[in-house]
Chains A and B, each alone.
Chain A
Amino acid sequence: MNNSIFPNIWRFFGLVVLQVLLLQQITLSIGPYFNILLYPLFILFLPIQLPAPYVVLLGGLIGMVVDFFYGTLGLHASAGAFSGFARSVILATFEPKGGFTGKEPIASPAYFGWRWYLQVAGFFFVAHLFWYFSVMDFTFVYFTRITLKTLAGWGLTMIFVVLYSALFNPKS
């Protein structure tokens, strides 16, 4: 597990920088329905064997850092912690026959193939975005708006997820 620490640290900072320098500007310039939240990839690519409480805490941590730049204290942290929890549920649902072994350190297309990866990432980002927009509006009175934002944001985000995963093809 030790050799997986550094790639994750790099991913942490890389995704935060990408998020606040580039992706946040896209939302700000185009409009509130065009959200691209790529930083949760850090949570998804955490080692599969990492115990769930750590995943939740690290998800909250990266969210909190993003919050500092977005000026929305607690919002991304809440969504990050939720995604950390949701990841364990989604991975358990899509667990391959025979279970996860040490041979597949992270849930990436390099180990499980694109079809499996896109399913997992798809559900993962829906969960993250829906939670994020729900907490943002803070009431289900705007359920329609929350759903529309989730769908629009999900479509855009998945494009970047595919680009990122194809470009870096992370293995650890």
Chain B
Amino acid sequence: MGKLLQLLLRNGGFMTFVLVEVLCFYIIIKYNEDQNAIFSHTATVFSGKLLDKRRQVADYLSLQQLADSLRAENIRINEELANARNIQVPYRDTFFIRNLDTLLLSDSLRRISVRPQFEFISARAVGNSISGANNWLIINKGSNDGITPNMGLVSKNGVVGIIRHVGPNFSMAMSVLHRQMRISVNLQRHHALGSLIWEGGDPAIMTLKFVPHHFKVEKGDAVVTSGYSQLFPKDILVGHVEEKPGSDPENPYFWIIKVRLNQDMASVNDLYVVNNIFYSELDSLNLKAKDE
């Protein structure tokens, strides 16, 4: 307090000046229309800026919520896309091709209702390996979140793995970099079916087998999921053909094709678990077929 008083006394002229000016400006703004108008306008601009800044801070603080809501939105769009790929409607008023029983015709020909086949659950990778001979991922969602074994695991860049073991809160997924992994894929340009496996070594490269010789495979051809495996929706990008293929020494009628993965397996983070609603039905049908 004493120091404040000293300060006031030493800078008495300046302090008086400031006080008088504050009073003067108050009077000016209160009693002069021109200055009042300018002041109100400026005050509005400044308070606007201030409120804008406050909104920015609030936005920043709610980024986590925003990210969550965007993930939910992504899920919705991915589901829509995955399901849309299973509906083929060649012409508006001729006929519908029904695929995997996803279409239900309603009483009017124009109106169709779609039974969704795929459901997405967002998740994050909390563990990942790429250096072993058989690699696994751990994700932060489990049975409490509706995850069961044999669900597909994808990222926005492509296929990542398959859920194998499920705990209440976490799940283990077999990475695509696992020797038992078989992914049913298509060469997008030729619609040529093949099987994608990993033979170890380079974690960015997988091997595509069982594509017959009569398909002219070029470097850069896109490799997408076939939709036949019931684990992944159709047409999810997996990777691109790395180089011109050679013949499979074990099986001379087929190519052996190196595929560079679109998803860098070393940096896996935001993931979606793919739930095929009809998996058990399709699986039991498969089992019946095997018995015959």
Contact = CB atoms under 8 A, between A and B. Distances in A.
Tell me if chain B binds chain A.
Answer: yes
Interface of A: 51-53, 55-57, 60, 72-75, 77-78, 81-82, 84-85, 88, 135, 138-139
24 contacts: A52-B12, A52-B14, A53-B12, A56-B13, A60-B23, A72-B32, A73-B27, A73-B28, A73-B31, A74-B28, A74-B32, A77-B27, A78-B20, A78-B24, A78-B28, A81-B21, A81-B24, A84-B17, A85-B13, A135-B25, A138-B28, A138-B34, A138-B35, A138-B38
Main SS class of interface, B: helix
B15 interface: yes
Nearest to A72: B32
A53 B30 CA distance: 25
Given A52-B13, A53-B12, A53-B16, A60 B24 contact: yes
B42 interface: yes
Main SS class of interface, A: helix
Nearest to A141: B38
Sort chain B's interface into a size bin: 20 to 34
Nearest to A81: B20
Interface of B: 12-17, 20-21, 23-28, 30-32, 34-35, 38-39, 42
Contacts of A78: 20-21, 24-25, 28
A56 B17 contact: yes
A129 to B, nearest CB: 16
B181 to A, nearest CB: 69
Contacts of A77: 20, 24, 27
Contacts of A56: 13, 16-17, 20
Contacts of B34: 138
